[in-house]
Amino acid sequence: MAKFRINILGCGSATPSARHQPSCQVVDFRDKLFMIDCGEGAQSQFRRMGLKFSRLGHIFISHLHGDHMFGLPGLLSTMALHDVGGRITIHIFREGAELLKTWMDYFLRESAFEIVYDIIEPGERRTVYEDDGLTVETFPLYHRTACTGFIFREKPKPRHLKGEMVKFHSIPVAQLKAIRDGADYVKADGTVIPNAALTSDPDPSVSYAYCSDTLHSLRVAADVAGVDTVYHEATYDSSLEKQARERGHSTAAQAADIAARAGASRLVIGHFSKRYTSGEEPLLEEARAIFPATTLAREGLTIDLI
């Protein structure tokens, strides 16, 4: 069974609180792990959620605020201790790579663990990761400092073979991959059997967008249009819209507006201000009034996209 799962490791803002850890998520795509942001304590949450360091190959950092990256030195040191000779790629803005390199060159100076830096330029739209089944793209967010979102897109899947038709036309096994990929079948006598007669539509490809931290922006809605599940920060409720704007953040209503405009099927909200000491239900209610399929992020939550 293909897996495309979001793990929420932290969904608070600014500083760890009694309720929340700072930002960190792990996308599990067919057992390869991709971390997005890495707030302090990420390695402990990672372990607590039963995730495997050996499967983590890429870390994506949205921006250079401490609550999104102070977990990196500890996480990388632990990985270096457990995976001697291993390597990881960190996708990050240039200044973040330089800061991190200064520390890791010192703390891992006796280790063979390799850190590869992939520099993201501010405002850049680029496919920063690709394998057989998945792409990860950047797109700009609008915060107090340069900030990037990430879209994880499952690649188009093969079409389903109609077994009885394959049998009826005695199609050789060697041809089946091409047919699943959309080719027609040409018989020995030159007769063409169109692909539509041999296959049915593939399972839909699923996608996930990570939007944190950002002002409410229609450009974000346009960039994540057509994505199935959108994570969007919702630091405040609407009564604090002015404060949200001043600090480069969004309200729950604004997050819901983005999901609605993007035509998403699901919205996950997080990056909660610590002022909501008795729970973020007010944020949830506010978002659901605009976009009913909204879920509150919380530490330990997993969401299966497939």
Active-site annotation, residues = 67
CB atoms within 10 A of CB 195: 16
φ and ψ at 14, to 5 degrees? 60, -75
Residue from 5, 30, 74, 288 touching its own copies (CB under 8 A): that is 74
Residue from 2, 81, 197, 218 touching its own copies (CB under 8 A): that is 81
What is the contact mask toward its own copies in residues 92 to 121, using x (rule: CB under 8 A)? ---x---x--xx--xx--------------
Work out how close the CB of 234 gets to its own copies at its nearest, in angstroms, rounded to a whole number. Answer: 20
Q: Which is nearer to its own copies, 18 or 173 (CB)?
A: 18
Choose the binding region for its own copies from 13-21, 171-179, 193-201, 250-258 (rule: CB under 8 A): 13-21
CB 286 within 8 A of CB 292: no
Work out how close the CB of 265 gets to its own copies at its nearest, in angstroms, rounded to a whole number. Answer: 35
Give the C-alpha distances (Å, rounded to integers) separating 199 from 44, 70, 174, 187, 195: 46, 50, 16, 16, 6
Q: Which is nearer to its own copies, 146 or 267 (CB)?
A: 146
| Residue in the block written with tokens 């607590």 | 48
Give the closest residue to 142 by CA, choosing from 244, 40, 35, 240: 244
Does the footprint of its own copies cover residue 142 (CB under 8 A)? no
CB atoms within 10 A of CB 22: 28
Work out how close the CB of 231 gets to its own copies at its nearest, in angstroms, rounded to a whole number. Answer: 23
294 vs 286: CA distance, rounded Å: 10
Residue from 3, 48, 55, 242 touching its own copies (CB under 8 A): that is 48
Does the footprint of its own copies cover residue 77 (CB under 8 A)? yes
DSSP, residue by residue, 166-194:
HHHTT--GGGHHHHHTT--EE-TTS-EE-
Residue from 7, 23, 25, 43 touching its own copies (CB under 8 A): that is 43
| Most distant CA atoms of the chain, gap in Å | 74
Q: Which residues bind its own copies (CB under 8 A)?
A: 14-18, 40-41, 43-44, 47-48, 64-67, 70-71, 73-74, 77-78, 81, 95, 99, 102-103, 106-107
